[in-house]
Amino acid sequence: GNSVTQMEGPVTLSEEAFLTINCTYTATGYPSLFWYVQYPGEGLQLLLKATKADDKGSNKGFEATYRKETTSFHLEKGSVQVSDSAVYFCALSGGGSEKLVFGKGTKLTVNP
């Protein structure tokens, strides 16, 4: 079945550091790929998405590119802020299934 593997944390960075959180997937067909974020005390919310190969999703300075050849959707941000501290989840839907499945999540802490 479809699955998502993402880099396990926790990840601790200083403000203005570069962030990469790796995500790879296994799916048949052409899934849609997502990054969701869970801020402390809040529910999950969509950060960005890409629905076809080579698409780049971007939001709030975060970016991820749908790479079919490497089955990856790595999340990047050039300069993180303290307010980016949260848990980040890579997810996919489709690829022969309507399910929305998640990776295990990566906790990011950004220190001032």
* Chain residues in the site for other proteins (CB under 8 A): 31-32, 34, 36, 38, 42-46, 49, 51, 87, 89, 93-94, 98-102, 104-105, 107
Query: How many Cα atoms sit within 13 Å of 5 on the Cβ side?
Result: 8
Matching residue, tokens 């022969």 = 96
Q: Minimum Å distance from CB 94 to other proteins?
A: 3
Please identify, using beta-carbon distances, which residue of 39 and 79 lies nearer to other proteins: 39
Which residue is listed with tokens 């962030």? 19
Cβ atoms of 106 and 7 closer than 8 Å: yes
* Closer CB to other proteins, 9 or 63, in the complex: 9
CB 54 within 8 A of CB 70: no
**Closest to other proteins by CB, 19 or 33:** 33
Q: How far is the CB of 7 from other proteins (least distance, A)?
A: 13
